[in-house]
Amino acid sequence: MNFTQKISITSLVLIVSLFITLTGNVKFFTETIVVYPLSENLGFVVSLLVWLFSFLSVFLLLVAYRYSVKPILIFILLSSSVVSYFANSYGTVFDDNMIVNTLETNLSESLDLFSFKLIVYFVVLGVLPSIWVYKLELKKTAISSMLWSKFKAIVVLIMVFVLVTLLFSKAYTSFARENKQLRLHINPTYFLYAIGKYTGNQFKSANAPFVTIGQDATIQRNDKSKKIVIVVAGETARADRFSLNGYERDTNPLLAQQDVISFSQMSSCGTDTAVSLPCMFSKLTKSDYSHAQGKNMSNALDVLSTAGVNVLWRDNNSSSKSVADRVEYQDYQSNNSNTICDNECRDEGMLVGLQSYIDDRKNQDIMIVLHMMGSHGPAYYKRYPAEFEKYKPVCETNQLNECTNEQINNAYDNTIVYTDYFLAKVVELLKNNQKTHKTAMFYMSDHGESLGENNLYLHGMPYFIAPKEQTHVSSIMWFDDQFAKEINQQDLQKTVKSSTTHDGMFHTLLGLMNIRSTVYDKNMDYLSYEE
């Protein structure tokens, strides 16, 4: 590398823009060629390369000046290299929700995504070119001269941009109207847009007043009985991998022995935990939900607590995503609190000590939320103890594209087998408390998972293009005999067979505890209670 030769800001920006356009958009062009085959659209695909280069160059020339150009270019090089890795390896799209996920991911989840391949991407596409940018000496020119140079470059680039668009106007019209999903893969402009959108949402959320709802909530029950409801917030569990829903593998051997109800047509509010988890407990529906509104409004747990229900949240995942901010919260991600840990702390550990918690509240209504690690990827093989490795061979790496479909599916299905075991243990715990309480379990997964279908892995795709694998989630209920008498079984069977969504969970949680409030909508409750 020649660091002695001086270079102008304009030239530096153009070089870096070309480098990122060529190296950072492999996923974009791969997806584009699927829609626009090279045999028929070679000119258009080549024009897209010019189009992206021109657009990125103009953007950087507008924001890059003598003292800002190097920090900006280095940031973009480093971040683009990471985005390229995840886009090429997993098909990940970095929209504003993925930015939230990234920032809210804990160390354990981050390490699951770490790999040698990621280091190679980061060093080759990020660190090395950043060192080159850092050590280059910029030409010292008058401000007027620098601005004139940038102005000329911008004018030429805009002319090229317009010319290319006009030459392939029909293709660009199709690209803009019918294939909007392709723009999600443009690196770095789309993730920069996502960062801007995320930042704007954070300001909105910080400045939004907290809205308290359900202050009129009361428990209205015909008898003097008390209830225990354990809500299990599942993680990354696809509905089609539960044998209860017709999957050919026996992934639910223990639940099949219980009188459980499976909502086989349940759809999620989002495709990632950061959105789905708070949305599940929110009164807002999928079409209404945003972090600015959802996190600044009372949720179902707040309303239950207001009505006099004892609410406890135990977490073996990254966090409650603000859902449990105003109720009792216990972290079970470390062996300081979780007594069942091997290579990681197990979901089963959240059940230890729960009986004592219940015994101390024998004459009270109790709702306990258990937030599972569940089937969180990509290291599925870590999500279950060795004795639950029912299906072999398994994928024993976080580099899913290096494993066979059989290995990936085996590892994932083993996580469902362990989830089945955990839920059966929850039912067992509840059965032991039937003498003092009516008991019920309500399991709901936050989102699904892609396991290589259409070369997609993990989750987090923007909802409007997300495959069913990421939105069709598992949901199960169990009731003891006394609790079941409250439920209109005929209506329940209709609900089970119909399409349901996370939108009804808020009202169902209130209904399970016989909460009456102006915020409760019986029509959105999954269950119909006999008066």
- Specify whether the CB–CB gap between 357 and 312 falls below 8 A: yes
In this predicted structure, what is the pLDDT of residue 412? 98
Give the pLDDT band (50/70/90) at residue 416: very high
Q: What is the pLDDT of residue 531?
A: 44
- Per-residue pLDDT reduced to its tens digit, 444-499: 999 999 999 988 999 999 999 999 999 999 999 999 999 999 888 888 888 888 89
pLDDT greater than 60 at residue 529: no
Alpha-carbon distance of 300 to 291, in angstroms, equals 16
Residue 399 pLDDT more than 70? yes
Q: Give the C-alpha separation, 242 to 251, whole Å.
A: 6
Instruction: Residue 57: name the closest of 135, 126, 159, 140 by CA.
Output: 159
> What is the rounded average pLDDT of the residues 298-327?
97
pLDDT for the residue 283: 97
Residue 174, pLDDT above cutoff 90:
no
Cβ neighbours of 325 (radius 10 Å): 14
Where are the alpha helices (H) located in 91-188, listed in sequence order?
96-104, 107-112, 116-121, 128-135, 143-167, 169-177
pLDDT of residue 530: 52
Domains (range + CATH), the chain: 9-206 (no CATH), 218-522 (3.40.720.10)
Distance between CA 431 and CA 440 in Å, rounded? 9
Write the pLDDT tens digit of every residue in 359-389.
999 899 999 999 999 999 999 999 999 999 9
pLDDT exceeds cutoff 60 at 119:
yes
**Res. 268: pLDDT tops 80:** yes
Mean pLDDT throughout 278-304? 95
The three state secondary structure string of 156-174 is HHHHHHHHHHHHCHHHHHH
- Res 2 pLDDT > 80: no
Does 4 score more than 70 pLDDT?
no
Least confident among 84-88, 94-98, 293-297, 353-357: 94-98
**Is pLDDT above 70 for 123?**
yes
Give 486-522 pLDDT, tens digit per residue.
888 888 888 888 899 999 999 999 999 999 999 999 9
Average pLDDT over residues 49-72: 93
Q: Find the mean pLDDT for residues 194-213.
A: 87
pTM of the full predicted structure? Answer: 0.90
Residue 155 pLDDT: 95
pLDDT band at 144 (very low <50, low <70, confident <90, very high): confident
pLDDT greater than 60 at residue 37: yes
Structure confidence at residue 429 (pLDDT) = 98
Average pLDDT of the chain?
93
Q: Are 460 and 271 in contact (CB under 8 A)?
A: yes
**Spatial distance between the Cα atoms of 459 and 470, rounded to a whole number of angstroms:** 6
Cα–Cα distance, 347 to 314 (Å, whole number): 10
Predicted confidence (pLDDT) at residue 106 exceeds the cutoff of 80: no
